């Protein structure tokens, strides 16, 4: 009997599903997408109905050969990538590339990778969904048109290497506009007064002064607060009323992609990309019993809060058994998804509630366990009864002033028994009192009056979690794109993460409130300003949300994908033509500031170079004066003070100044141009001795030394230099992924910094911007990862564009000792 071929995306998923299906099935992995639009050309025939030119993805030749060989042996081919638009597109492209005829090719999908779900899916295969594929294809072409048309324009007008995107640029705009609100904000002083009171019985409690003559009290200055304090000290405190009411706190819905990312960011301090990577592992399967992997959660890319009847029943049984029948509502809790959600999918939930987190403590990694526990408890709590509180409020009078205090007393834990700290809305801002027994007309003793100076607060900066929430609420992007959007805007240096409180202790409370989160860089501000002026539709939040709605309409078969592209292209093409001639050219004139050049008096302008933004005289090239700059808390550009080093020039004795150039940080003599002495500050640049190498000189066969070039790349140099000038690049030991090449990836450097390329260049032009590390990708099985260093972390990513594996190591990883040479 011939086997049925099942094709999934990742090797780990293939391993899990193969265990469930057993004999009669061959399960293979495509390692994500197998074809896409070409990398170095538009790949869209605009004149011919936006026909896409798809090509096999570089490096997938071997995978495709294996899939075709397996397909030729099978009678039935079941395509089982993820149950979303991207998964449908992968299935469609695989079917096209296999090119099999007279064989049954069908689509299967499962929301969870458990034996029951997999076997049930195999019993109900379906045809490929052409509408869902067209929706993904329209999104891909839209993103290609925007990216490939706007990016070269930015290269010409601002800086080479920039990019723009249909969704990413709107996300940057939101961050920029929030920062502008913060900078424009002017804090206003106000005062609040709190009184410590005692009754006949303890405890003492604190009441807030809230009204004057029955109207809401507003205190704007210290003298007003002092006058109120004097009046209160002269008066009597009398209970004016005591009320009690029952308050219910309902559980939150189970997780969807966006809320999982938000909560994991807030409570676990995990980045969106990191939590999605961990959730992918839990979805695809973890070996917890030694008999093979099993999926622990349902599909993690969903915007639906729907729960299957089977999962509801299992939750109610566990709740009744663990907490008691009063903790399970009479009818299962049902939540409403937002408009446009894909209700065919379920929420993110555990696949087996009989596997609580405590049973898996020794089976999962710490990130996996934290993520699983978050999902497990949130889902269980979502199916429980509300928590109830007895809210007691007391009103107190003192002359013309009114005071208030309240107490929330839990009377029934409800869902809080499963998750007591899942308060997404935060706690109350006012201090809350525990009240003694009180009754109307009772006189109270005033013990202390506390007047507090406060300031109105600016809006907070976006965090990764709140930016995702903003994008979701505005209908921008989809669950599968949020993590990628955030990674892109950070990697492109349009947005940066800010940590810690301001160092300037003289700043107001309002200034100190905005101390972290996502802040736009000067590059992000400039690019956003240019794009808003020239492409108002692309950068329009409402327009972008409307486009997402149209893509949903295409998926539902209610709109045509070519019509959407035609309507978009007409206006976009006109904007492109106009921008080519009218968009400000920051490469030439820069962004003018009100700072005069200290050499010629002309205005200084912000320009962008290899090492970021700087100030340059607008009269360039007649005046070549440049300065570094900073922005103050109000967004104003100010010239950065020169940092004088403790070192003195070894040639003339003048102080040295810290600077940064195209090759990194260095010290320059302050007597320039009379003295042009410089000293590199790059790590390893000033080693007195190089390190002995095991390599042999390719010229003379002699020993070699491992050194570091002035651009920072490692290389081997003949020990007999300068008599012999033989050199070899530093070999990472990672084999070039190009099939049939046989070369190794070596370290090199250019004007833009380090990069890694094939040793067989120019015959093979494979290059990477991250350092290849011989570590197999746990998601797709790729033989190596790329390591990139940041200021506070090291990122490990899979080089496969279709794989979203990412690992963050918070403590910087130092290179091996020999690399320091």
Residue 71, SS3 per DSSP: helix
| Distance between CA atoms of residues 387 and 390, nearest Å | 10
> Which residues 6+ apart lie within 8 Å of 448 measured at CB?
195, 196
Q: Is 319 exposed, middle or buried (0-12, 13-18, 19+ CB in 10 A)?
A: buried
Q: How many helices (H) and strands (E) does the chain have?
A: 17, 40
User: At which residue do the structure tokens 């050219």 appear?
Assistant: 585
> What ranges make up the beta strands (E) of 577-640?
591-596, 603-609, 612-617, 626-627, 629-631, 637-639
Phi and psi at 681, nearest 5°, equal -105, 5
| Distance between CA atoms of residues 149 and 592, nearest Å | 27
Token pair of 97 as six digits: 């590339």
User: At which residue do the structure tokens 């909560």 appear?
Assistant: 263
> Which residues 6+ apart lie within 8 Å of 659 measured at CB?
665, 666, 667, 668
| Distance between CA atoms of residues 820 and 118, nearest Å | 51
Question: Quick one: which H or E segment has residue 709?
Answer: none
Residue 548 gets which letter from DSSP? H
- CA nearest neighbour of 445 among 233, 716, 645, 292: 233
Token pair of 556 as six digits: 């539902």
Question: Quick one: which H or E segment has residue 131?
Answer: helix 130-157
- CA nearest neighbour of 285 among 86, 123, 118: 118
| Distance between CA atoms of residues 286 and 368, nearest Å | 10
* Catalytic member of 299, 608, 663, 730: 299
Residue 602 gets which letter from DSSP? P
Token pair of 676 as six digits: 């042009």
Residue 46 gets which letter from DSSP? G
363: left (phi over 0), alpha (psi -120 to 50) or beta: alpha
Token pair of 74 as six digits: 């099978």
- CA nearest neighbour of 646 among 654, 637, 655: 655
Give the CA radius of gyration of the chain.
32
- CA nearest neighbour of 422 among 465, 377, 389: 377
Query: Does residue 460 contact residue 513 with C-beta atoms inside 8 Å?
Result: yes
Beta strand 443-455 with 189-198 is antiparallel
| Distance between CA atoms of residues 773 and 782, nearest Å | 11
Whole-angstrom distance between the N-terminal and C-terminal Cα of the chain? 61
**Helix 482-491, helix 464-473: angle, nearest 10:** 130
What's the number of CA atoms in the CB half-sphere (13 Å) around residue 813? 13
Q: Quick check: is 299 catalytic?
A: yes
| Distance between CA atoms of residues 172 and 394, nearest Å | 47
Q: Give catalytic residues, as residue numbers.
A: 299
């Amino acid at each position: 009997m011939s086997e049925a071929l099942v094709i999934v995306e990742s090797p780990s998923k293939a391993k899990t599903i193969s265990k469930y299906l057993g004999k009669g099935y061959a399960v293979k992995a495509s390692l994500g997408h197998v074809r896409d639009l070409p990398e170095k050309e538009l790949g869209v025939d605009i004149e011919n109905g936006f026909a896409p030119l798809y090509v096999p993805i570089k490096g997938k030749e071997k995978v495709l050969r294996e899939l075709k060989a397996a397909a030729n042996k099978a009678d039935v081919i079941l395509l089982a990538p993820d149950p979303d638009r991207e998964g449908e597109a992968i299935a469609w492209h695989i079917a096209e590339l296999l090119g099999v005829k007279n064989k049954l090719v069908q689509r299967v999908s499962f929301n969870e990778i458990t034996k029951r779900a997999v076997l049930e899916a195999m019993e109900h295969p379906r045809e490929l969904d052409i509408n869902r594929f067209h929706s993904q294809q329209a999104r891909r072409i839209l993103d290609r048109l925007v990216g490939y048309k706007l990016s070269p324009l930015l290269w010409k007008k601002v800086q080479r290497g920039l990019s723009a995107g249909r969704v990413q640029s709107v996300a940057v705009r939101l961050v920029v506009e929030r920062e502008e609100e913060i900078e424009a904000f002017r804090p206003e002083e106000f005062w609040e007064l709190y009184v410590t009171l005692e009754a006949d019985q303890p405890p003492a409690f604190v009441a807030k002064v809230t009204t004057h003559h029955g109207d809401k009290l507003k205190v704007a200055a210290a003298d007003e607060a002092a006058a109120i304090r004097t009046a209160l000290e002269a008066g009597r405190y009398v209970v004016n009323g005591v009320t009690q009411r029952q308050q219910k706190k309902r559980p939150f819905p189970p997780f969807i992609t966006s809320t999982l990312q938000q909560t994991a960011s807030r409570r676990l301090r995990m980045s969106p990309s990191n939590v999605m990577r961990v959730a992918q592992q839990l979805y695809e399967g973890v070996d917890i019993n030694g008999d093979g992997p099993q999926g622990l959660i349902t599909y993690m890319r969903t915007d639906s809060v729907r729960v299957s009847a089977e999962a509801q029943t299992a939750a109610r049984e566990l709740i009744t058994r663990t907490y008691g029948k009063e903790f399970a509502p009479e009818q299962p809790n049902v939540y409403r998804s937002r408009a446009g959600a894909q209700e065919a999918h379920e929420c993110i939930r555990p696949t087996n509630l009989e596997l609580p987190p405590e049973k898996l403590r020794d089976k999962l990694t710490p990130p996996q366990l934290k993520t699983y526990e978050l999902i497990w408890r949130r889902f269980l709590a979502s199916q429980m009864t509300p928590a109830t509180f007895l809210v007691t409020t007391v009103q107190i009078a003192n002359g013309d002033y009114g005071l208030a205090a309240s107490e929330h007393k839990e009377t029934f834990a409800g869902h809080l028994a499963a998750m007591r700290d899942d308060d997404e809305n935060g706690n109350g801002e006012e201090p809350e009192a525990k009240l003694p027994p009180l009754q109307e007309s009772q006189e109270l003793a005033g013990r202390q009056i506390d007047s507090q100076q406060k300031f109105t607060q600016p809006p907070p900066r976006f965090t990764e979690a709140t930016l995702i929430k903003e994008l979701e609420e505005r209908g921008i992007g989809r669950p599968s794109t949020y993590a990628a959007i955030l990674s892109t805007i950070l990697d492109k240096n349009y947005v940066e993460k800010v940590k810690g409180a301001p160092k300037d202790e003289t700043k107001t409370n309002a200034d100190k409130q905005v101390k972290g989160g996502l802040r736009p860089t000067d590059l992000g501000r400039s690019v956003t300003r240019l794009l808003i002026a020239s492409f108002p539709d692309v950068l329009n939040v409402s327009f972008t949300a409307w486009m997402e709605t149209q893509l949903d309409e295409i998926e539902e078969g209610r709109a045509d994908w070519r019509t959407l592209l035609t309507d978009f292209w007409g206006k976009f093409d006109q904007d492109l033509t106009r921008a080519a001639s009218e968009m400000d050219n920051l490469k030439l004139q820069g962004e003018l500031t009100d700072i005069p050049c200290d050499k010629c008096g002309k205005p200084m302008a912000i320009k962008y170079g290899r090492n970021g933004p700087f100030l340059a005289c607008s009269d360039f090239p007649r005046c070549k004066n440049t300065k570094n700059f900073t922005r103050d808390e109000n967004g104003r550009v100010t010239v950065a003070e020169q940092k004088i080093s403790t070192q003195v020039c070894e040639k003339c004795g003048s102080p040295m100044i810290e600077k940064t150039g195209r090759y990194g940080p260095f010290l320059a003599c302050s007597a320039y141009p009379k003295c042009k002495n410089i000293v590199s500050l790059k790590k390893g640049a000033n080693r007195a001795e190089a390190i002995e190498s095991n390599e042999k000189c390719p010229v003379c066969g002699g020993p070699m030394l491992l050194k570091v070039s002035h651009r920072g790349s490692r290389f081997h140099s003949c020990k007999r230099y300068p008599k012999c000038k033989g050199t070899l690049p530093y070999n990472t030991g990672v084999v070039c992924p190009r099939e049939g090449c046989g070369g190794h990836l070596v370290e090199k450097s250019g004007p833009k910094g380090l990069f890694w390329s094939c040793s067989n260049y120019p015959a093979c032009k494979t290059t990477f911007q991250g350092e290849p590390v011989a570590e197999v990708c746990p998601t797709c099985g790729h033989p190596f990862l790329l390591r990139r260093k940041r200021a506070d972390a090291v990122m490990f990513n899979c080089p496969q564009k279709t794989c979203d594996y990412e690992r963050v190591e918070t403590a910087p990883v130092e290179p091996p000792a020999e690399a320091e040479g």
